[in-house]
């Protein structure tokens, strides 16, 4: 439990740092909404000057600071989050989602589905119905290829991406999800910057040279330049 508490403290420290650092650099313009995301999965945190993340922030008015599980057993991490009074705004939960639901820690998606068509189009009506919990509402969405799940492509309400009740601005949180599902932002997330990370042929098809592909897969480049928001809806 000591290791779990230390991890939660680290998350809160990163959250406060992201608010302070990013906000201080935006005094001459409207400050972005700063949201936090924790993934019960392994990953690399982005640098403060990550190029594509900052471009997405400019276009959406929202910055999401991602924190990933590091060297922890997922069971211990989940136990810690269920005990803390303050959760991240977003979470990717790979198991025991029902416990977060039972504790009343999740925001229902239903009021936002008709308002935000990019979110609604993630699933058919029949697939959305498979995500409903016992109260008839939807509290999560699956991520294709999500890690550490028995069937990462199944439509199920036992794991997925959620918005938590700790989020002070759920409207901004859901609008951001809708925005990053637009064609423009999806290109930034998974292709990068045209002319730098990919090219288009005469038919408009995206492609990468070998040098571009190698750079995109480079670990350091992934920290300073690439921002896929890989465990958010796509």
The span from the CA of 3 to the CA of 199, in Å, is 45
Answer CATH for 2-224 from 3.40.50.150, 3.50.50.60, 3.30.1280.10, 3.40.190.10: 3.40.190.10
The total number of residues written for the chain in this structure? 234
Nearest partner of 37 among 232, 219, 234, judged by Cα: 232
Predicted TM-score of the model (pTM): 0.83
Domain ranges of the chain: 2-224
**Is the pLDDT confidence value at 206 over 90?**
yes
* Phi and psi angles of residue 158, each rounded to the nearest 5 degrees, phi first: -100, -10
**Is the pLDDT confidence value at 58 over 60?**
yes
The span from the CA of 94 to the CA of 25, in Å, is 35
The span from the CA of 25 to the CA of 72, in Å, is 33
The span from the CA of 25 to the CA of 40, in Å, is 30
For residue 3, the surrounding DSSP H or E stretch is helix 2-24
Mind listing the pLDDT tens digit for each residue in 161-185? 999 999 999 999 999 999 999 999 9
H-type alpha helices, 25-83:
51-60, 74-83
Task: Determine how many CB atoms are found less than 10 A away from the CB of residue 219.
Answer: 8
């Amino acid at each position: 439990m000591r290791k779990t508490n230390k991890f939660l403290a680290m998350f809160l420290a990163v959250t406060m740092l992201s608010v302070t650092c990013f906000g201080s650099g935006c005094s001459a313009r409207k400050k972005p909404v700063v949201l936090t995301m924790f993934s019960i999965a392994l990953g690399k945190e982005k640098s403060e000057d990550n190029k594509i993340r900052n471009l997405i922030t400019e276009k959406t008015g929202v910055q999401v600071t991602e924190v990933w599980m590091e060297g922890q057993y997922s069971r211990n991490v989940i136990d810690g989050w269920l005990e803390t009074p303050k959760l991240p705004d977003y979470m990717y939960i790979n198991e025991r989602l029902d416990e977060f639901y039972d504790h009343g820690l999740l925001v229902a998606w239903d009021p936002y589905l008709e308002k935000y068509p990019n979110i609604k189009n993630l699933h058919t009506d029949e697939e959305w119905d498979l995500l409903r919990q016992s109260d008839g509402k939807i509290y999560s969405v699956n991520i294709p290829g999500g890690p550490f799940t028995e069937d990462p492509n199944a439509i199920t309400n036992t794991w997925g991406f959620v918005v938590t009740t700790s989020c002070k601005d759920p409207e901004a949180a859901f609008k951001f999800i809708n925005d990053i599902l637009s064609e423009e932002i999806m290109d930034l997330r998974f292709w990068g910057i045209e002319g730098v990370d990919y090219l288009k042929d005469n038919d408009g098809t995206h492609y990468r040279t070998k040098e571009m592909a190698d750079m995109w897969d480079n670990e350091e480049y992934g920290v300073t330049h690439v921002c896929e928001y890989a465990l958010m809806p796509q």
